Structure 1
Amino acid sequence: MEFTGGCITMRAFDTAQKLHEDNQVIRSFWEASTLMVYTTLKKRGWLGSEYVSVHESEARLLCGENNRKMKMEYLQNTTSPNVCLSGGADGADLEWGNCAASMGHQVIHWSFPGHSSRASEDQLVRLDDEELKIADRAIENAAKALGKTPPRRPTVSRLLRRNYYQVTWSEACYAVTFFPETGGHAQPPGGTVWATTMFSQLHPGSQDLYVFDQIRGVWLQWQGEWVVIETPPRPSGVWAGIGARDLQQNGKDAIRKLMGCTTDHI
């Protein structure tokens, strides 16, 4: 996905379209994502002349001759090509957002009615239930990969659905959390594992998935398994900054060092 000329070019959409005949996960992503784009744009009045509904029942979009573009008002109007997508929770979410904002990135915290957040009001985008339910297919696919059952409690379900919006348009995903287990296929706990799993499924082949383990104090990169690395590239473009509510000092330091952010900036 590229931020070009005030628009987002959805490379993930192109990849999914090429592969969706061969892979159920990719096919599900393609169907859910086109529906999400169409529903969100239509509902919020952001459908421009470049967007044409072919069959509303299939929610398919034609977006120009060269690329499928999603012009979202809060991205199109930003003066920065760098956008941090997060979830407004205490801990890692707010630290990523604060650091990103201090370094000139636009920050969007996905939320929903009734979700409490200490993020700035101008950074919050509240999704209604119709928009949140578009994430259900991606959550089902992540649940299968994790050997879990999608949560039934409404609030928990909404939180995971909002996680989908953090990662579906992101070029890269950065998380700060805990790895209670070791090994290449260990997974972070809580809601973070749902977000990282959805990112890897929605962006097949991408290795731009990074996690800082607050237990060992190291960065890891997903390369088909988790591999310890010295440090990831500094976030740029459209990226997700997420992680645990229980942000330790080493996790905070890792975020600030990676972003080039100091206490003087915040």
Structure 2
Amino acid sequence: MTDCSQFTLYSGGHKGTESEFGKNAECWGLQEVNFSFEGHTVERNKNVKILTPEELKKGDISMEIVSGRMGRTYARADKIRKVFQSIFHMVNNGYHIFAIGWIQTDDTVKGGTGWGVELAKLFNRPVSVYDQDRKAWFAWKDNQWVEEMPVIADKTFVGTGTRNLTEDGKAAIHDLFKRSFGPADQK
């Protein structure tokens, strides 16, 4: 039987997907770390690690690079920069990245979630995205999205995604944990 306490979820504790990942991690007895920064509100405040300005700077990147990689511009660059910096810490600490959202035609993922997915690609990390429109999981392999049902197999992983989590998205997260660790009531 898998010792779930040996697994750690890295997330941001935001409303929607990240909060749902945290609830499932707690239900299955996994460790959890939520990265945030001063002045930022989180919904899930379990094991919150407030990043100092110095720690945030470790995840700093030119907004031109982000805009180029994501194929879009960001109006409130100062606020979104801190969000992107905290996402860096999530991806830097977790190995496999799981995201819930929407894969766009340019192969990026919609919203801030997309930056976590792009970092995973840059860091050559396994990345799995549940596309809420297509109601299916996809993995980034050989520079393309391939439909693939993931499991949590690495001791450290990231759970991130949209604030606008659908019931299908919630079920996808729950099923991911159940597929990976068995029924929660046995833990």
Tell me the TM-score normalised to structure 2 length.
Answer: 0.85
- 1:107 corresponds in structure 2 to 32
- Matching of residue 164 in structure 1 with residue 92 in structure 2: no
- 1:222 corresponds in structure 2 to 140
Tell me the TM-score normalised to structure 1 length.
Answer: 0.61
What amino acid is aligned across from residue 228 of structure 1 in structure 2? Answer: E
What amino acid is aligned across from residue 173 of structure 1 in structure 2? Answer: I
**1:123 Cα shift?**
1.3
- 1:212 corresponds in structure 2 to 130
What is the rounded CA distance, in whole Å, between the counterparts of 1:104 and 1:246 in structure 2?
A: 25
What amino acid is aligned across from residue 164 of structure 2 in structure 1? Answer: D
What amino acid is aligned across from residue 163 of structure 2 in structure 1? Answer: R
Identify the match of residue 159 of structure 2 among 222, 241, 249.
Answer: 241
Identify the match of residue 119 of structure 2 among 192, 195, 198.
Answer: 198
**1:254 Cα shift?**
0.4
- Matching of residue 189 in structure 1 with residue 110 in structure 2: yes
- The higher relative CO (CA closer than 8 Å, separation ≥ 6) is in 2
Runs of 4+ in 1 over 3 A off after TM superposition: 137-144, 147-153, 261-265
Structure 1 gaps, min length 5: 1-78
What is the rounded CA distance, in whole Å, between the counterparts of 2:150 and 2:168 in structure 1?
A: 16
- Matching of residue 146 in structure 1 with residue 70 in structure 2: yes
SS of 1:114 mapped into structure 2: coil
What is the rounded CA distance, in whole Å, between the counterparts of 1:160 and 1:148 in structure 2?
A: 14
**1:186 Cα shift?**
2.3
Conserved 8 A contact 1:132-1:158? yes
Identify the match of residue 258 of structure 1 among 176, 182, 185.
Answer: 176
SS of 2:158 mapped into structure 1: strand
Structure 2 gaps, min length 5: none
Cα RMSD between the aligned structures? 2.4
Conserved 8 A contact 1:221-1:227? yes
Q: How many residue pairs end up in the alignment?
A: 179
Q: Percent same amino acid at aligned positions?
A: 28
What is the rounded CA distance, in whole Å, between the counterparts of 2:42 and 2:34 in structure 1?
A: 9
